[in-house]
Amino acid sequence: TYIGSIVASVNPYKSIPGLYDRAAVERYSRHHMGEIPPHIFAVANECYRCLWKRHDNQCILISGESGAGKTESTKLILKFLSAMSQHSLELSSREKNSCVEQAILES
């Protein structure tokens, strides 16, 4: 759920099909935060939009207890930002996209 510009999420400790797939990236990239149900991609999209609109550095704070999913949340945000940056560069090659995404996620 959202609390202002903050998304509060719970680690379900299981995979939920379709929650973080390519279609979810596309869906959240086309909407502003709050227009569709809360999602970590909405926060990442707001960050991305502000980066390009305001030309200011952006920061996402991820907090939680041990095992809460901070590392996975970070990977998901990087996945979204990687997909958006590749889309903005209009690279059509899937191989290039996965290579760049993999390099970012491994960092």
> Which residues sit in the known binding site?
64-71
| Number of alpha carbons in the 13 Å side-chain half-sphere of residue 7 | 23
Which tokens go with 20? Answer: 């973080």
CA distances from 33 to 17, 39, 50, 74, 105 (A): 22, 9, 12, 18, 24
Q: Measured between alpha carbons, how far is 17 from 8 in angstroms, rounded to an integer?
A: 20
Which tokens go with 37? Answer: 């149900």
Query: Which residues make up each annotated binding site for ATP?
Result: 64-71
Kindly give, in sequence order, each residue whose CB lies less than 8 Å from that of residue 9, ignoring residues fewer than 6 positions away: 38, 40, 69, 73
